[in-house]
Structure 1
Amino acid sequence: MAKCAFLGLGVMGHPMAGHLAAAGHEVTVYNRTASKADAWAQQHGGRMAPTPREAAEGADFVMACVGNDDDLRQVCTGADGAFAGMSEGAIFVDHTTVSSAVTHELYAIAKAEGFGFVDAPVSGGQAGAENGQLVVMCGGDQPDYDMAEPVIAAYAKLCKRIGDSGAGQKCKMVNQICIAGLVQGLSEGMAFAEKAGIDGRAVVEVIGGGAAGSWQMVNRHETMLDDKFDHGFAVDWMRKDLAICLATAEEIGASLPVTALVDQFYKDVQSMGGGRWDTSSLVKRLKAFD
């Protein structure tokens, strides 16, 4: 069993840290809102620390799941950052979806200080985190990944190293690019079925087992048809992720016309007050703009 720190106890980090504790690891948590860290410690029997540095002191592995590039830099660097408390040979595992640029930046600092850095964004959403069924896509040095993978297994159904530093984040970009087009297609299909006067649930029962089937179809068609979006992965976070995808595409010369279009559709959803709605709310935009 390992000594772990977990930084960030949002809807993803809270259950992920809980799975580490349940697996027998010794876990210290940090959260910007200290009351959340205290509540986690009382629930799971670990301890809380007032700063990322203090959480990381003596840890074999330091996991982070925060909001964006700036949040990650804040918990990593500076006098109170985790890097200041990490020991030589320890490994930092970043589960945040961020740019590959900040990943390369922090990887270089970590290596210079004598500890590892694995970028390890996740897919599976809140339900995946709660059930310990996340998919984790990793970048970094092979020895660091090999050491971290058995610990990550506490909350992952699949964990794979894609390549060197930044490869995990680039894989997550592919994931979000694919989801963007998929959800828009599903939204159009559900809206079309309603306009055509046929039962959307019956349609999904028939086509869901064929080539049109997807996780999104299975898990989101009913809430889409019921106009319920107060769950799942928020539009605000999806737009943050798609901005990373589009910026990286510009850098490498990749074409993402559908992604760019769907990003603007999500901007429309935000203007409707749906920034915290699930990404499947694209169907609500279709109905509003009909």
Structure 2
Amino acid sequence: MKNIAVLGLGAMGARMAENFLKSGYKLKIWNRTADKGGSLVKLGAQQFSTPSEAVKNVDVVISMLTDDKASQSVWLETKTGALSGLHKDTVVIECSTVTPQWSIELSNNIRAMDAQFIEAPVIGSRPQAENSQLIHLIGGEKNILKKVQDVLSVNSSAIHYIGSVGHAMSMKLAVNGLFGVQVAALSEMLGTLSRVGIDKNSTLSLLSKLPITSPALIGIGLGMSEDNYTPLFPVDLVEKDFSYLLQLAKDQSASIPMANAALDVYQKAQSSGFGDNNISGVVKMYL
């Protein structure tokens, strides 16, 4: 499978697309803002003006879009949507973080076109994408995964099979939720201790040496200590993922009060003007 289309050239999609080119794949690209594809075209990609055109005659379609709304538009628009351009047996890989409900619906639409589908949301951000160190969570049929294992490996250091379509998206939301709760709690603790008279960097230095602190949280702490809030995982997207997680919990009649509280924190961060900061930017509300 050497012919790939990538739909969505944001921070993650563009880096994944470049890795495909460097690995020798023939690449077609589409992005709503066409100028984002310029550097990839110089590397050999073919750029198209509609998703429908981009997915014609390819083996694999990689979708890397912001949210449900963006994905629905890209796939379902009547004249230009990718669904209308799919060929039989093309494998669609949904790498976006979307709701499990939409992933299942998209899978059904794609299978109705005699194409194939797996979901493969990613753990990691820009540095991991650049270095092919993303982690894919897989939902779908194992025989389809086997077909595209080499394609997924171009951008990843690990691939974990979770279960049927919807399960990998659910797991991705849970992973982001767990991470987001940790960052919100850390921010609160830093704010409280600063009022006692213990400065932020002293606290972060100690926490980085303790077994209670996850490697991911140590990385967040490093950014906080340097006042570096470059948006690797922007607050706006964190809020989106928590909203999706709470909807998932509601659909399953599950109670997740800590996630609910964390959503409130990130929504307040948005209201305070920190939506385009990295997730660590929530600490600004407490210091």
TM-score bracket for this pair, using the shorter chain length: over 0.9
Farther off after superposition, 51-60 or 68-77: 68-77
| Partner of residue 191, structure 1 | 191
| Partner of residue 212, structure 1 | 212
Q: 1:221-255: CA deviations, max 9, x gaps?
A: 13213433233211111111111000110110111
Deviation at 1:141, TM superposition (A): 1.4
Q: 1:41-92: CA deviations, max 9, x gaps?
A: 11x2211111111111111000011111121112222332222222211100
Deviation at 1:193, TM superposition (A): 4.3
Letter in 2 for 1:122: V
| Partner of residue 137, structure 2 | 137
Letter in 2 for 1:54: E
Deviation at 1:198, TM superposition (A): 4.0
Q: 1:99-143: CA deviations, max 9, x gaps?
A: 111111111111121111111111111222122111111111111
> Is the aligned partner of 1:50 residue 2:56?
no
Q: Trace 1:74-89 onto structure 2 (pairs within 5 A).
A: 74-77=73-76, 78-89=78-89
TM-score by length of 2: 0.94
> Is the aligned partner of 1:179 residue 2:160?
no
The CA distance in 1 between the partners of 2:259 and 2:229, in whole Å, is 21
Q: Secondary structure at the match of 1:217?
A: helix
| Partner of residue 158, structure 1 | 158
Q: Trace 1:1-290 onto structure 2 (pairs within 5 A).
A: 2-42=2-42, 44-77=43-76, 78-198=78-198, 200-287=200-287
The CA distance in 2 between the partners of 1:192 and 1:272, in whole Å, is 19
Alpha carbons 2:3, 2:59 under 8 Å: kept: yes
Q: CA RMSD in A?
A: 1.7
The CA distance in 2 between the partners of 1:264 and 1:4, in whole Å, is 40
Structure 1: which 5+ residue stretches go unaligned?
none
Letter in 1 for 2:61: V
Letter in 2 for 1:220: I
The CA distance in 1 between the partners of 2:165 and 2:222, in whole Å, is 39
Deviation at 1:38, TM superposition (A): 2.9
TM-score by length of 1: 0.93
Q: Secondary structure at the match of 1:12?
A: helix
Structure 2: which 5+ residue stretches go unaligned?
none
Farther off after superposition, 2-11 or 197-206: 197-206
Alpha carbons 2:183, 2:220 under 8 Å: kept: no
Letter in 2 for 1:31: N
Alpha carbons 2:103, 2:165 under 8 Å: kept: yes
The CA distance in 2 between the partners of 1:197 and 1:58, in whole Å, is 63
The CA distance in 2 between the partners of 1:273 and 1:210, in whole Å, is 32
Alpha carbons 1:94, 1:120 under 8 Å: kept: yes
The CA distance in 2 between the partners of 1:82 and 1:27, in whole Å, is 16
Alpha carbons 2:204, 2:225 under 8 Å: kept: no
Once the two structures are aligned, what percentage of the paired residues are identical?
27
Alpha carbons 2:120, 2:139 under 8 Å: kept: yes
Letter in 2 for 1:79: K
Deviation at 1:206, TM superposition (A): 4.2
Q: Secondary structure at the match of 1:216?
A: helix
